Amino acid sequence: MEDITDIRHLENVRRDFVANVSHELKTPVASIKGFVETLLDGRVDDPADRRRFLEIVGRQADRLGLIIEDLLSLSRVEQAEGMGDLPVEPVAVGDLIRTVIAECGPRAEARSIRLDVECPADLEAEVNAPLLEQALINLVDNAIKYSEPGQPVRVEGGVAGGVLELAVRDEGAGIAAEHLPRLFERFYRVDKGRSRKIGGTGLGLSIVKHIAQAHGGSVTVESAPGSGSTFRILLPARRG
Ligand code: ADP
């Protein structure tokens, strides 16, 4: 007899994923359709209302774009992970963190959030720089999104016991313990409404997880409501 538990489980995961993607795409499409139909009816006389409706259509189209972009990232990373031959190069970790800070800077500034960095100047690692940057950007963007103005976000790089550790700490809302085990699942959100409102797709952390795994590493979270969150990407410091 063959053990097909794993295959069954994979089939279920795939089926759930397709159902979730369809659901996530349906909502903005329905909204776009509704507003376009209303405008085509020709019953919206006020030009200000027409403009408002078109702005909503624009925002929903942007949202669809974000979901599709994240789905493509996820699928590319999973493919790299499956093939097990991620291209890596020696990278100065401090420079990589500063690239991430520069990318997220405007979004932090818009929310009056200070971004701090702590990383030894000579820290080098063999990583896939674009992917690791993307993972850190997702974590820093989340830290910004789920903090209040004035609460700083800190990115730390270090190595201990052959493990490269990249930590993103915030002093924001924090996450209740019951959510932590499912946090890295695709489309899992603690507060659906809040995530959607601030432009989240629910895919950011699953992309981070797969980028860490493609490097032979992992990702962890430590968090409690009211005392902020620390997400850590842990990678083997030397590959080969
Ligand atoms: P989203 O696009 O919704 O931010 P993610 O996969 O990036 O999706 O994160 C999943 C959920 O985890 C978020 O909806 C949010 O509830 C929670 N979360 C992620 N990062 C943080 C953080 N730094 N502080 C508090 N909650 C967070």
The residues near 175 (Cβ < 8 Å, ≥ 6 apart) are 183, 190, 221, 223, 224, 225, 229
Dihedral sign (CA 198, 114, 182, 136): positive
164 Cβ closer than 6 Å to some ligand 1 atom: no
The residues near 118 (Cβ < 8 Å, ≥ 6 apart) are 154, 155, 156, 157
What percentage of the chain carries pLDDT values higher than 70? Answer: 98
Whether 195 shows a pLDDT value over 90: the answer reads: no
204 Cβ closer than 6 Å to some ligand 1 atom: yes
In the structure, what pLDDT confidence band is assigned to residue 145 with cuts at 50, 70 and 90? very high
> Please, what is the average pLDDT of the chain?
93
Residue of minimum CA distance from atom 14 in ligand 1: 189
66 Cβ closer than 6 Å to some ligand 1 atom: no
The residues near 221 (Cβ < 8 Å, ≥ 6 apart) are 175, 180, 183, 184, 229, 230, 231, 232
Ligand 1 centroid – CA 118 distance (Å):
23
Whether 162 shows a pLDDT value over 70: the answer reads: yes
CA distance 14 to 108: 36
Ligand 1 atom nearest the C-alpha of 228 is 24
CA distance 23 to 188: 13
Predicted TM-score of the model (pTM): 0.91
Residue of minimum CA distance from atom 2 in ligand 1: 200
pLDDT of residue 213: 96
163 Cβ closer than 6 Å to some ligand 1 atom: no
CA distance 54 to 39: 9
228 Cβ closer than 6 Å to some ligand 1 atom: no
Ligand 1 centroid – CA 158 distance (Å):
24
Residue of minimum CA distance from atom 7 in ligand 1: 204
Interstrand relation of 153-160 and 163-170 (parallel, antiparallel or unpaired): antiparallel
CA distance 155 to 185: 23
Q: Which residue has the higher pLDDT, 128 or 240?
A: 128
154 Cβ closer than 6 Å to some ligand 1 atom: no
